[in-house]
Structure 1
Amino acid sequence: MGKMRPEELPPLPEAPGVYLWKRGEEVLYVGKAKSLRARVKSYFHAEGKARRIAEEATALDFIATRDEVEALLLEANLIKAHRPPYNVLLKDDKHYPFLKLTNEPFPTLLVVRRVEEDGAKYYGPFPEAGALRRIKALVDRLFPLRKNSGYPMKRRRYPCLNHSMGRCLAPCVGLADPKAYGEVVRQVEAVLEGRVDGLLSELEAKMREAARRLEFERAAEIRDQIEALKAFFSTAQQAFDPEMGDLDFLGMARAGALSVVQLYQVRSGRILGRISRVVEKEEATDEEILWAFLRDHYLEASPLPPLVLLPFPLEDLESLAELLRRRAGRRVELRVPKRGEKQRLLELAEKNARLALESELKLLERRGNHPGLKALQDLLALSRRPFRIEGYDVSHLQGEARVFSMAVMEGGRPKKAEYRRMRLRAGNDDYAAMEEGVFRRFTGSLKEMPLPDLLLIDGGLGQVRAAMRALERAGLSLPLVGLAKKEEVLITPEGREIRLPLTHPALRLLIHLRDEAHANGLRYHQKRRAQEALKVLEGIPGIGEARRKLLLERYGGLKALKEAPLEELARLPGMSLKAAQALKEALREGAPEPA
């Protein structure tokens, strides 16, 4: 069956619902709409991804819903079921654990993976298992809820060891007073929701009352409880302005196809936790990625705050806001702050999202799966993903001693054992120097090295075309690209300029390789300057081996030594005024500049 035409669409209602673009039996994309008819027909007049979806699809299914919230829920479920290639799918899309306070006369606290409609209270998700274990252990130690995981509660003949240790009120043998047990449940809820300030004040009042009644053992128990709560929340959380109350705030960072979205949960002015998710989708917009994160997170997250701070505006948030209102039983505001403390929270989230993105990129690089390699294949229309890339740079020392340096990357990682450099015969001509260096790389002593999948030329169109001439002379046809230094623009042999954001993984990789090639040449010149300076210093009275080493480590070459003040030289460890004067006099009398 060929691609669909608008007239082949099924009759679509002007009603909210979900639509599924399909190719045969494969679901390509799942979307929701306020009006199915208007949204689906817009695909045939769109550009970019929407147009490609309509061109690839051979069929369309749709499901009308009662309202947009129902469409949102159905969309999320269908995306999880079909995992369509054109939808944004969050990396590590697994069920993070929750803490569940069961819906029973005598509730217990459980660790679960799914949120169910069973009347229980759920807290989470917890992306870090360690944080969940710590707070579960804290509750188990400080609050005497029943500990057995069987529910409905099983009747027992004798109380368990937890009751003897004071960690359970033993409802399973009928020893627990329902009112006292309910009070413990209320305190546990306060801890899980981060409302500890009020709880601490309440416990301190109870401790003083117990002491007033001379119940010193009970007062000591409450004191230990207070100290444990203070210690836990002072180390596990970062304090902010207590007046900020309860809110979530988000940050996002992107580098080409790779994006990181992070959500921070603030309760009673403290950061309780952070959710971080990775998305790898080149054609998805920032808005699509953020929307997918919000939808997937808030379908399960609990408890919900009254305010969610977004890093940038999103269209069609009404359905999500209505879903949150229904789940929370009150209004939940979605807002983009422009100033003040809340704006600074977003800056914090964005900064940490960038750091997380850097870590993700470095992890991929260590695994030999640098995202820049696939991006380079797409940008330069290469027949395969480049594995070995060689970067070439031509440098000189004060217009003389031109050096061709080569750096190598394999799988996105530097292969320093194969870095090379050579002195060039070309005169004061950058283009001729680049042509000579590239030609000798493939015809001289280095020709036995593996052929690269891509060449990176440090320079603009002139250097790129000089490298092309060298390849033609060597009888080779290899893909290459230039990198102009000032604006970090990619230059193709045809003269096309490719401008990328500095965070793009392909550009990051090429800048790294270019800098490695440049540093390789720079090390040669530094070594040569030191050799020239050493020859001059060896003939100066009073400048022995130790002083020569000190001067070279500090100044590197003759030019810097000539410019250094006499007093500064004399103050160096191991130097004297007499030795410094002898050095300056010898340099004044005509010590040659390095060639």
Structure 2
Amino acid sequence: MRPHDLPPLPEAPGVYLWRRGEEVLYVGKAKNLRARVRSYFHGEGKAARIAEEATALEFIAARDEVEALLLEANLIKAHRPPYNVLLKDDKHYPFLKLTHEPFPTLLVVRRVEADGARYYGPFPEAGALRRIKTLIDRLFPLRKNSGYPMRKRRYPCLNHSMGRCLAPCVGLADPKAYGEVVRQVEAVLEGKVDGLLRGLEAKMREAAQRLEFERAAEIRDQMEALRAFFSTAQQAFDPEIGDLDFLGLAQAGPLAVVQLYQVRSGRILGRISRVVEKEEASPEEILWAFLRDYYLEASPLPPLVLLPFPLEDLEGLAALLHRRAGRRVELRVPQRGEKARLLELAEKNARLVLETELKQRERRGDHPALKALQEILGLSQRPYRLEGYDVSHLQGEARVFSMAVLEGGRAKRAEYRRMRLKAGNDDYAAMEEGVYRRFTGSLKDLPLPDLLLIDGGLGQVRAAARALERAGLSLPLVGLAKKEEVLITQEGREIRLPLTHPALQLLIHLRDEAHQNGLRYHQKRRSQELFQVLAGIPGIGETRKRLLLERYGGLKALREAPLEELARLPGMNRKVAEALKAALDAPVKET
């Protein structure tokens, strides 16, 4: 689509929809529709691609930013555009609903409706919802079995006989007393337990003064149950923090985790964690999508929300929260102090959830990097088994071919291999020899890889391709140049990815594993060679052998060390150093 194909756009808030035929590609909101839409033709990356792919643009003008935000959320839910960040799946987290009627009841629901009721949630863990619902049903005599809206009954139910219901359905409940129970339930659901406990304690003392000891004991048991529940179900924090939400975000390529913590009266009341997978989504886009979706339904709202980094166009969200809460809700990015430490806690836990998600996907063979590799390299299927090859040498000699294996993104160290090469100082010939022997020699019975990673540039990649051709195989391969971490195809095409891209991170890990496999072999050979030369030298025992190995690493460095330096080493003297130099000057037969 070109700029002159756009419809006349107003300089007003609203929502715009980029379309490709009947498909909605992207839904966005704007303070100024004309300026925002035209910016797509001057941008790059995803914005430029959206404008290029689109064949039409629609817009809906709104009265203000709040209306634009609500329109955006509803249109994204309806169309699920491919370029928008979609955090929600098909399931809806449950809420507790305190119904809007003369004698309210507490229900578990999946949807928030504009019916005047009070909603508490969402609860991402069904166990937490059940625990708090069970506590309220046991301690507070709200009605339970007469439906919604309340239906009249002829006789009270068993809950009334057990003291767990005031029985308004048969006309036994005093509206004032029932309203007091409702206020207590609201305090529990909002986490305002300290004030509730103080009120209950005062009532307990009043009952005791009136010699109503049975009633006082009931209130005492109620208080103990509340204290026990909130001491185990919630993590204590600083009471001076008050009521707030704070968020953390962690991202690895297209995979991200957002975590929100609810703090009420200084206690962590709950935690919401959402995982999103979206190519090219920036942290700002992901955080904004979470805030928009979560706060359109969440209740009750705190007076303060702490964000991990600044976002543009937050005025509309702040106005919406103000409207929903009936008071100001501040969105802030703290820079220091206790509130900044809360954000560090949220980010740390978001990283832990992200790492767990990545490990679970690796076990399923569903590492996000594998799908990305398929798309980046144009493979016919998602790769599962990756083999990385490296050629290294020992101080210019004794070239070694090493192999590392990943399956489903996880290292399979039982199938790591290494071999000595016959090729001399020709790196390309060494790579060709190693790859050819991998598929024709003693390793040929190992499973064939879906992708080969060559440590090196175009020369090494083409050498590996020649080896595959000689072996009668056609397998995908790509090189990884060390200096700039650039992917190099067999045709010589360079693919540059951000260092944080999961596909590049996985290939770097595989390359490093292959390199370390060869390095361990060289270290073993160096120690064997050094120990062979040192064997039989007067005064050189096991302790001095290990000292010299740790200090110099191999024979070359040890031969170049001056006599005086050797004599000054801890545990050495001049006589032993002279014997050592004499032995080092003698010719050594290579093993």
**Common topology (TM > 0.5):** yes
Q: Does 1:326 align with 2:296?
A: no
Q: Does 1:257 align with 2:270?
A: no
Aligned partner (choices 495, 498, 501) of residue 496 of structure 2? 498
Kindly provide the CA deviation profile for residues 330-356 of structure 1, in whole angstroms up to 9, marking residues without a partner as x: 111111111111111111111111111
Greater Cα offset, 451-460 or 301-310 = 451-460
Aligned partner (choices 126, 129, 134) of residue 129 of structure 1? 126
Q: Is the 8 A contact 1:287 1:314 kept in 2?
A: yes
Give the secondary structure class of the aligned counterpart of 1:47: coil
| TM score, norm. by length of structure 2 | 0.84
Greater Cα offset, 462-471 or 60-69 = 462-471
Give the secondary structure class of the aligned counterpart of 1:137: helix
The residue type paired with residue 140 of structure 1 is D
Q: Does 1:9 align with 2:9?
A: no
The residue type paired with residue 457 of structure 1 is I
**Structure-2 change in CA distance of 1:469 and 1:84 (3 Å):** same
**Structure-2 change in CA distance of 1:229 and 1:532 (3 Å):** farther
Give the secondary structure class of the aligned counterpart of 1:284: coil
| Distance in 2 between residues matched to 1:594 and 1:306, nearest whole Å | 75
Q: Does 1:375 align with 2:361?
A: no
**Structure-2 change in CA distance of 1:427 and 1:310 (3 Å):** same
Aligned partner (choices 180, 184, 200) of residue 181 of structure 2? 184
Give runs of aligned pairs for residues 544-559 of structure 1, distance below 5 A: 559=545
Unmatched runs of 5 consecutive residues or more in structure 2: 537-541, 551-575
The residue type paired with residue 160 of structure 2 is H
| Distance in 1 between residues matched to 2:314 and 2:298, nearest whole Å | 17
Give runs of aligned pairs for residues 413-452 of structure 1, distance below 5 A: 413-415=410-412, 418-427=415-424, 432-447=429-444, 449-452=446-449
- How far apart are residue 94 of structure 1 and its match? 2.7
Give the secondary structure class of the aligned counterpart of 2:41: helix
Unmatched runs of 5 consecutive residues or more in structure 1: 540-550, 565-584
Q: Does 1:231 align with 2:217?
A: no
- How far apart are residue 365 of structure 1 and its match? 1.4
Q: Does 1:361 align with 2:347?
A: no
The residue type paired with residue 182 of structure 1 is G
Give the secondary structure class of the aligned counterpart of 2:250: strand
Give runs of aligned pairs for residues 195-234 of structure 1, distance below 5 A: 195-234=192-231
Greater Cα offset, 181-190 or 398-407 = 398-407
Q: Is the 8 A contact 1:95 1:114 kept in 2?
A: yes
- How far apart are residue 14 of structure 1 and its match? 2.7
| Distance in 2 between residues matched to 1:184 and 1:227, nearest whole Å | 17
Q: Does 1:19 align with 2:25?
A: no
**Structure-2 change in CA distance of 1:526 and 1:51 (3 Å):** closer
**Structure-2 change in CA distance of 1:168 and 1:529 (3 Å):** farther
The residue type paired with residue 406 of structure 1 is M
Q: Which residue of 2 aligns with 1:278?
A: 275
- How far apart are residue 43 of structure 1 and its match? 2.5
Give the secondary structure class of the aligned counterpart of 2:359: helix
Q: Which residue of 2 aligns with 1:568?
A: none
Q: Does 1:316 align with 2:294?
A: no
The residue type paired with residue 385 of structure 1 is R
Q: Is the 8 A contact 1:461 1:495 kept in 2?
A: no
| Distance in 2 between residues matched to 1:278 and 1:289, nearest whole Å | 10
| Distance in 2 between residues matched to 1:209 and 1:193, nearest whole Å | 26
- How far apart are residue 147 of structure 1 and its match? 1.3
Kindly provide the CA deviation profile for residues 436-455 of structure 1, in whole angstroms up to 9, marking residues without a partner as x: 21222234343455543321
| TM score, norm. by length of structure 1 | 0.84
| Distance in 2 between residues matched to 1:146 and 1:156, nearest whole Å | 12
The residue type paired with residue 199 of structure 1 is L
Q: Is the 8 A contact 2:497 2:504 kept in 1?
A: no
Q: Is the 8 A contact 1:559 1:593 kept in 2?
A: no
**Structure-2 change in CA distance of 1:59 and 1:247 (3 Å):** same
Give the secondary structure class of the aligned counterpart of 1:78: helix
- Give the total of aligned pairs: 559
Q: Does 1:76 align with 2:73?
A: yes
Q: Is the 8 A contact 2:435 2:467 kept in 1?
A: yes
Give the secondary structure class of the aligned counterpart of 1:330: coil
Greater Cα offset, 471-480 or 75-84 = 471-480
Q: Is the 8 A contact 2:385 2:405 kept in 1?
A: yes
- How far apart are residue 28 of structure 1 and its match? 1.3
**Structure-2 change in CA distance of 1:530 and 1:36 (3 Å):** closer
Kindly provide the CA deviation profile for residues 108-144 of structure 1, in whole angstroms up to 9, marking residues without a partner as x: 1100011111111100011111111111111111111
Aligned partner (choices 253, 264, 269) of residue 266 of structure 2? 269
Q: Is the 8 A contact 1:260 1:277 kept in 2?
A: yes
Q: Does 1:157 align with 2:154?
A: yes
Give the secondary structure class of the aligned counterpart of 1:194: coil
Q: Which residue of 1 aligns with 2:288?
A: 291
Kindly provide the CA deviation profile for residues 505-544 of structure 1, in whole angstroms up to 9, marking residues without a partner as x: 21332244335435555676688799999999999xxxxx
Kindly provide the CA deviation profile for residues 446-491 of structure 1, in whole angstroms up to 9, marking residues without a partner as x: 3455543321234566655654554465566644334466876656
**Structure-2 change in CA distance of 1:28 and 1:496 (3 Å):** closer
| Distance in 2 between residues matched to 1:488 and 1:211, nearest whole Å | 77
- How far apart are residue 237 of structure 1 and its match? 1.3
| Distance in 1 between residues matched to 2:493 and 2:3, nearest whole Å | 40
| Distance in 2 between residues matched to 1:204 and 1:529, nearest whole Å | 77
| Distance in 2 between residues matched to 1:228 and 1:35, nearest whole Å | 54
Q: Which residue of 1 aligns with 2:304?
A: 307
- How far apart are residue 224 of structure 1 and its match? 1.5
The residue type paired with residue 319 of structure 1 is G
Q: Is the 8 A contact 1:103 1:120 kept in 2?
A: yes
Give the secondary structure class of the aligned counterpart of 1:283: coil
Q: Which residue of 2 aligns with 1:560?
A: 546
